Amino acid sequence: MDSSRVLIAVVLSIVLVVAYQELVLKRFFPPPTQQQQQAAEQAKAAKAAQAQALGNGQAASPAIAPGAIATGAGAVATGVAAPGAVAIGAVESGQQSVPMAPSAAGAAERTVEVDSDFYVAVFTTHGARLKSFTLRRYRQNAAMDSPPYEMVQIPPGGPLPLGAVVTRGGQVFDDRDLSYETTAPAQIKPAAGADATATFVARAADGTTITKTFTFRANSYVFSMDVAMTVGAAAVGAGASDAAPNQLGVSMSQPLTAHQGYYDIPEIQADVADKVITANEKKLKTGVPPAGGPITYAGPITYAGFGDRYFLAVFLPAAPTNGVLTMAYAGDEAIARVLFDGAARIHSDIYMGPKLLEALEAVNPALHKAIDFGFFGILAIVFLRTLKLFHYIAPNYGVDIILLTVSIRIAFLPISIKSQRSMMKMQRLQPQMTRLREKYKDNNEQLQKEMVDLYKRNHVNPLGGCAPMGLQLPIFIGLYEALLNSIELRHAPFVGWMNDLSSPDCLYIPGLPQLPLMHCHGLPVLVLLMGATSFIQQYMTPTSPDPNQQKMMMLTPLIFTIMFINFPAGLVLYYFSSNLLGVIQQYFLNREFQQYTPAT
C-alpha cells in the first residue's frame, strides 16, 4: 500500500476541518455590512416607536372592547377600549408580547446604579429593567483607553432585558410600559460578605401588582431576581378564568448582530432537561415547521439566555425550575422567555459575565457547556487548563501558547519520530517498490507477497507514517477549539504590534492599501511566517515519487496560509511554533538517514 495516499487523505481532512469555518460559515453567513447595520437600526427604531404608541393607547389597529380578548392570528375585536383597559393586540402567543397598560401616567424615570467589584449595573424604573451592565475587567476593544465592555447591547428604544412576562387568556403580556416605584438609593455598593437588595413595585391598570426584587453580591457575576404577582380586583371582576395567569416568567431579547472578531455572533443558549440547546438567527426565523411558530422546550431548566463567543447572559431558575423555554424571532430581535405554569412567584439567579471556565463552574458545573468546545471538548478543556497553568509561570499568553506547543511536541515526540522514520524508510524503498511493480505488473498476488517481504526485511510498517498522524488529529482539533474559544486570549497582548491574540494578525503599515482577504491596511506577518515554516517543513519531509502527489503536498502550505489570514493570532502563533519545532526535528532526522541504506 502506498502510504503517501493515506497521508494526503489525513492532510486534506485537517484542511477541511479548518476550512469549514472560514470558507463555509463566514461566506454563507457573513457579518452584516455597515449599510445593513444602519438599516437594521432604523427598523428597530420604527418598531420601538410602534410599540410605544401601542403602550400609550395609540394603536394602529382598532381598539378592543372592554373585556374582549382577541384570539388567534389576525383576530381583532372592534369597539372602544375602556379607560385603563389592557390593550390586547392581534399577536400570536409566544412570538410577540403586549405591554401591560399602566394604572396612571408614567412617572419620571429614576435609575439605580449597582457598583460591584466585577460590574456596574444600571436599572431603570421604566419596566424595572436593566439599562446598562458594564464589566470592569473587560474592555470594549483592544485599545488601552477603551471603555468597559457593555453587556446590554440594545438599540435606542428597544426592549431592555430582565422583563416580567405573564400569559393570560392565550396572550403574552410584559411589563415594559409599567412605571415602577422603588425606595432603593440612587447608588448601591454591595459590601463583602453581605447582600444588597433593590425592590421595584408597579401596578397595572387592572390592579395587578408586580414586584421585582434584585439581590447583589460584591464579588460575583451572579445576582438574583425575584418576581411576584398579585391579581387586582379589576382583573378578578373580568372573570376568574381570565384573571388568573396561566404562566409567570422572565424574558430577554437581543439583536443577533455579529460582533467584532472571528465569527462572533450571539445566539440563544440553554440547557433544558439536560439537553444543550443553541438557536441562531436562521433557526429562530425558520421556527417550527410548517407554520414557523416559536420553538419551545419543556422540562427542568438549568440555564437559558444569550451568549456569544466570549460572554454569557442567562437565567438560572431556582424556584421553580421545571418550566417552558420559548424562543422566537420577532422584528429584528431574538426573544427568549422562561415561563412557569401556575406560578405566582419565581426566583432565578442571573449570570452576566465572561465565559470564564472557572467562573461558570463555580456557579453551576453544567454552565461550562455554554462554551462550545466542539466534539473533542474534554481535550479542549484540558488544554485550556494547561494554558492557564503556564500563565502562572509566564504572565503572557503568547509565551504560554509557545510553552503549550513545546509541551505537546515533547509529549508526542516518540510517536512523531517513529512516524517520520517510517515515512523516510518508505521513501528509501521507492526505487525497489517501483521495480517490483514493473516486474509483477501482471501478477498482483505475487506483487503483494513481494511487497510484504520487502517491508519485513526493512522493518517497515506501510501505515507507520500515517497512523500516528490519525491519533494526533483529535489533539489538533481539541487545541484548535481551546484557543479559538478562550476568553483569556481576548485582548491579550504578545509582543510588538500584536496586542490582541483573539483577533487576526496585522502589522499596520501607513500608506499601504488594503490587500485582498485582509481586514486592515497592513501585513499578516505572523501568518506569513507560519506559511514559510510550513513550506520549509513540507520541503524537508519525505514525499511520494508521484509528481502529482508532490505538487498537492507542496500546495498545502499555501492553502493553510490563505485560510489563516483571518484566524485569531493566538491560533496562528501555535501553528507557527509547532511548524518551527517540526523543522528542527526534521533537520536532525534527515541527518540521521543520510547514511541509511535499505535492505534489498
Domain co-membership, 357 together with 390: no
pLDDT tier at 599, thresholds 50, 70, 90: low
Q: What pLDDT shows up at residue 126? A: 92
Instruction: For residue range 358-368, list pLDDT tens digits in order.
Output: 999 999 999 99
Q: Which of 254, 255, 195, 204 is nearest to 226 (CA)?
A: 195
- Contact at 8 Å (CB) between 466 and 365? no
pLDDT tier at 69, thresholds 50, 70, 90: very low
Cα torsion at 505, 369, 13, 260 (round to 10°)? -30
Answer yes or no: is pLDDT of 136 > 60: yes
Task: Give Rg (Cα) of the chain.
Answer: 31
Instruction: For residue range 295-342, list pLDDT tens digits in order.
Output: 899 999 999 999 999 999 999 999 999 999 999 887 778 889 999 998
Domain co-membership, 419 together with 561: yes
Domain co-membership, 135 together with 226: yes
Domain co-membership, 306 together with 444: no
Which of 310, 339, 372 lies at the terminal end of a domain, its last residue? Answer: 372
Identify whether 86 is part of a domain.
Answer: no
Q: In sequence order, what are the residues at sequence separation of 6 or more whose Cβ sits closer than 8 angstroms to the Cβ of residue 335?
A: 95, 251, 252, 253, 326, 327, 328, 329
Domain co-membership, 150 together with 275: yes
Domain co-membership, 310 together with 414: no
Instruction: For residue range 525-561, list pLDDT tens digits in order.
Output: 999 999 999 989 888 876 655 566 666 777 888 888 8
Domain co-membership, 385 together with 358: no
Report the pLDDT averaged over residues 433-456.
83
Which of 320, 355, 372 lies at the terminal end of a domain, its last residue? Answer: 372
pLDDT tier at 15, thresholds 50, 70, 90: low
Q: What pLDDT shows up at residue 464? A: 59
Q: Which residues pair with 274 in a beta bridge?
A: none
Report the pLDDT averaged over residues 193-198.
90
Enter the C-alpha cell of residue 586. 526534521
Which of 324, 341, 372 lies at the terminal end of a domain, its last residue? Answer: 372
